[in-house]
Amino acid sequence: MRRILLSTTKILISATLLYFALRKANFSDLASRLDVASLGWIGLAIAATLLQIFVGVLRWQAVSAECGAPLATMQAFRFNMIGTFFNQTLPSSIGAMPCGCGWSRAAEPDGERRPIPSSSIAPSD
């Protein structure tokens, strides 16, 4: 119960701060300034971001393969998009627990799956 109350408080504080940051923003003025040239630059920025995420996908595929838990390209891309959402949208403390720890897909000697903190993944020699 305490964890739910703490998370709810963090979300309410974030929403309040967003309200104060955006309450005087003139979105109609912003929309009137967007033109075709601006849309091209926005499209280029989105394409560059997706390319950066895809390069991260390739890196995590290599890391997970070395750990004995290979990822398909689309599955790794989905995981990276979810991680990007948490990193860019939510305060770090909200998404830290569910995203910071993954379950090992590699079979352990006793057949159990063990949690692996993301900070324990290191490249092998």
Residues ≥6 apart with Cβ < 8 Å to 94: 7, 10, 11, 86
Q: What is the CA radius of gyration of the chain?
A: 20
Q: Of how many residues is the chain composed? A: 125
Helices (H) and strands (E) in the chain, counts: 5, 2
| Span 27-83, pLDDT tens digits | 888 888 877 778 888 899 999 999 999 999 999 999 998 988 888 999 999 999 988
| Span 102-113, pLDDT tens digits | 444 444 566 565
